[in-house]
Structure 1
């Protein structure tokens, strides 16, 4: 075999550390980005946060100073499914959205004050029960038993391992019974039960006295003796066994269904997670404006004092350390600029495509896929996917994840296309408006959607209905 040397030319994309960092930062949520930056600020003394107005005003290493280079007056093209809309879209002239007037409007100030007024820390179930237990008048043995019972309550509000608790406490039966009775009298109603039937009976015991005695008596009998028949919806058999008329049984069943089989979940779920939107969208003077949320955009810059200590000619270990940290800081600032620029461009393109949704609601959502945004912006689909992952947009209709605006298309009877999200919204509207005693079947729903111009098969209707957690027609009739 003869060996020889040859030259070959080729092109390849090298994933440099800077490019890898930019890709990683792009896909982080605002909370993850804040955590990441906190670690970098601790590790790199060349980086610092910019919090004061003077700091924000004019450094060339300030993250928020790169302008967005998008045209301000791109109109939404009309479609067969959406009305004619004269609503151009614009982005902020500069990333420094503090100058955009967003905080100056009275409506946004009221919204901010409302959100702050409703921020509260929900109490834990065990804390709630312990607070009530401390207010109960009990002797010392019963009080000790009650403290152990409170600890034994699970997140759903039930007592776990009742037999084991009795053996471990080794308390008198009278003290334990008094502690159990006290626990089961606390709020929420039904807490401290040992099974579902006891939980419902405890709630019926504290039911509103406005209900008729016959209805409450029937409800207690159903829970005590015929809970299995109720689960199988054998209402006629229950009425026959109890010797009651169907009207009383129906009222008793309705009373039972109003109860909670998991009384502790309202406390155990904890405080809700508040989403901070990354992008703000509002219509001003007939133009849809898109801004980055100043509360979600981190302000990081290079420390000028430390940067001034770098001397290119010196080769000491200290100078090499300074240069290395400075280079890493510049790469981070550049990556953040790229992240915010890409996020703003993608958000602007989404709003431009979904103007009908912004104007009229979910039923006017347009079909949209990642490739459309990628082709429009001249970037790769994976970049759009990373830019929309775990990012949220505040619109006049509420806060939505950016991925919510992407959905597949379904043909219409007029030869156009409709968004699957819009069809689900129409489907939900039809079900909410159906007669209580005569719910619409999937086939009938498909026919009604066809009348509105949507070619949707019955099995597709069933898939959408199940995805929204809506039961079938016969189950909706029973719960009516």
Structure 2
């Protein structure tokens, strides 16, 4: 055995706390950034947040969106929501003359009520939660199912529709038989349904017409909590000299203000008293200045990447989603002068408002597909073409995947049948056979 000593020099990157925060800042949208700066201002006496004023921000020219100040008007809208499902049901329960024990049991049912109006758990679970016998829970269920809207507190689709049929006086023996064979109806096997119900197709048709008028989710007609609306971080608009331009959405972008005057005042007070106070003030002031630089760097990086995306997606902005060009992270990183991982982080959390809608930056990065020209050769463009062709198809003769391939070949895009099937699944569009059944059931054929 022999021991040796050697010296070597190497470069390595130490990921300290500030570097980690700088990386996280790149992934934040404007609202997340505001929350982060607010948290920093609570910890650091020399950080102050300059919140954006909700003045009308320059919005993109658009034939799809509304006026320039739509985003600011949203925040000013009054709450016009009506009664919720739970409030409506609870108000009816109060008129049933229930005992205290029955009210407690009914409240367990209400807790299990889903926004659709259905029960979200089984009757046995509800009885166990309430600590009552199953028979008591069953009797309460029957009382609650008599409430409005008809079909509320149902456990299955058939039960929901049956409750509505009873309420409207539609529950004939044939109607009840149809509800017992909904699987055949979902498969559009009308001949099999007629045999199972012991009737003819002519007798079935008026029953099916009445069935289509019923609501499978009666709770959805009531107002629910609104989805949070998040304004975009980047705004695309038509440039005065032609083409397109992108800018930060200043109406939602916070700014870090350094309180140098406060630092000087505290320093003058603390200096004669405690020597270590000066060190604390200097350290907090240094952190505040770093935060201001990090936020500024984040804004410049986001804008630079947005500009590079804009340069490559001019056809998309001018002509629509079917002209989305193939693009990868590496080429944007090279042009923007940043690392590929930086582009990946920025495109994860940033939204861009365009004339064709608001999209995450990730939306613009799609793989290239073979094409006979330089238009429409991206996976995103192909998805939009598939969606357009299917929306325009005749209801009675929907397009098969092979026909979609042929139509796109005629448009200059070479794509395999399995690729069409994959993108159709990503768009949540069923196969042509299922689309035809749906058209039959909806009465469009």
TM-score tier (shorter): 0.7 to 0.9
> How far is the alpha carbon of 1:406 from its aligned partner?
1.1
**8 Å CA contact retained: 1:188, 1:263:** yes
Tell me, in whole angstroms, the C-alpha distance in 2 between the residues paired with 1:332 and 1:114. 31
User: Cα–Cα, structure 1 residues 121 and 171, in superposed 2: closer, same or farther, change >3 Å?
Assistant: same
Tell me, in whole angstroms, the C-alpha distance in 2 between the residues paired with 1:148 and 1:450. 63
User: Cα–Cα, structure 1 residues 21 and 114, in superposed 2: closer, same or farther, change >3 Å?
Assistant: closer
The corresponding residue for 2:97 is 139
Tell me, in whole angstroms, the C-alpha distance in 1 between the residues paired with 2:75 and 2:6. 71
Give a deviation string over 1:182-212, Cα, whole Å, max 9, x none: 63344443112243322111233456x9xxx
Tell me, in whole angstroms, the C-alpha distance in 2 between the residues paired with 1:49 and 1:242. 70
> How far is the alpha carbon of 1:413 from its aligned partner?
2.5
Match of 2:245 among 265, 286, 289: 289
> How far is the alpha carbon of 1:430 from its aligned partner?
1.1
* TM norm structure 1: 0.76
Structure 1: stretches of 5+ with no match in the other structure = 54-96
Match of 1:151 among 108, 117, 130: 108
> How far is the alpha carbon of 1:232 from its aligned partner?
4.7
Tell me, in whole angstroms, the C-alpha distance in 2 between the residues paired with 1:29 and 1:51. 14
3-state SS of 2:69 partner:
helix
Tell me, in whole angstroms, the C-alpha distance in 1 between the residues paired with 2:98 and 2:6. 94
> How far is the alpha carbon of 1:474 from its aligned partner?
1.2
Is residue 227 of structure 1 aligned with residue 182 of structure 2?
yes
* TM norm structure 2: 0.81
> How far is the alpha carbon of 1:288 from its aligned partner?
2.0
The corresponding residue for 1:333 is 292
Alignment length, in residue pairs?
A: 424
User: Cα–Cα, structure 1 residues 116 and 253, in superposed 2: closer, same or farther, change >3 Å?
Assistant: farther
> How far is the alpha carbon of 1:464 from its aligned partner?
0.6
Tell me, in whole angstroms, the C-alpha distance in 1 between the residues paired with 2:422 and 2:306. 30
Match of 2:89 among 107, 114, 129: 129
> How far is the alpha carbon of 1:112 from its aligned partner?
3.8
The corresponding residue for 1:72 is none
User: Cα–Cα, structure 1 residues 13 and 194, in superposed 2: closer, same or farther, change >3 Å?
Assistant: closer
The corresponding residue for 1:44 is 44
Structure 2: stretches of 5+ with no match in the other structure = 440-445
The farther-off stretch of 397-406 and 186-195 is 186-195
Is residue 33 of structure 1 aligned with residue 30 of structure 2?
no
3-state SS of 2:377 partner:
strand
Give a deviation string over 1:356-401, Cα, whole Å, max 9, x none: 2122221111111111211111111100011111211122222111
**8 Å CA contact retained: 1:189, 1:202:** yes
User: Cα–Cα, structure 1 residues 98 and 267, in superposed 2: closer, same or farther, change >3 Å?
Assistant: closer
Match of 1:466 among 400, 425, 434: 425
The corresponding residue for 1:239 is 194
Tell me, in whole angstroms, the C-alpha distance in 2 between the residues paired with 1:384 and 1:37. 22
3-state SS of 2:159 partner:
helix
User: Cα–Cα, structure 1 residues 468 and 248, in superposed 2: closer, same or farther, change >3 Å?
Assistant: farther
Tell me, in whole angstroms, the C-alpha distance in 2 between the residues paired with 1:292 and 1:340. 8
User: Cα–Cα, structure 1 residues 320 and 450, in superposed 2: closer, same or farther, change >3 Å?
Assistant: same
**8 Å CA contact retained: 1:408, 1:419:** yes
User: Cα–Cα, structure 1 residues 320 and 202, in superposed 2: closer, same or farther, change >3 Å?
Assistant: same
The corresponding residue for 1:78 is none
Please tell me the root mean square deviation across aligned C-alpha atoms, in Å: 3.8
3-state SS of 1:301 partner:
strand
**8 Å CA contact retained: 1:48, 1:300:** yes
Map 1:92-107; keep pairs closer than 5 Å.
107=67
3-state SS of 1:411 partner:
coil
Tell me, in whole angstroms, the C-alpha distance in 2 between the residues paired with 1:390 and 1:196. 39
The corresponding residue for 2:259 is 303
User: Cα–Cα, structure 1 residues 335 and 122, in superposed 2: closer, same or farther, change >3 Å?
Assistant: farther
Match of 1:454 among 399, 402, 413: 413
Tell me, in whole angstroms, the C-alpha distance in 2 between the residues paired with 1:145 and 1:411. 67
Tell me, in whole angstroms, the C-alpha distance in 2 between the residues paired with 1:318 and 1:361. 60
**8 Å CA contact retained: 2:127, 2:134:** no
User: Cα–Cα, structure 1 residues 290 and 123, in superposed 2: closer, same or farther, change >3 Å?
Assistant: farther
Is residue 278 of structure 1 aligned with residue 238 of structure 2?
no
Tell me, in whole angstroms, the C-alpha distance in 2 between the residues paired with 1:171 and 1:3. 80
**8 Å CA contact retained: 1:126, 1:151:** no
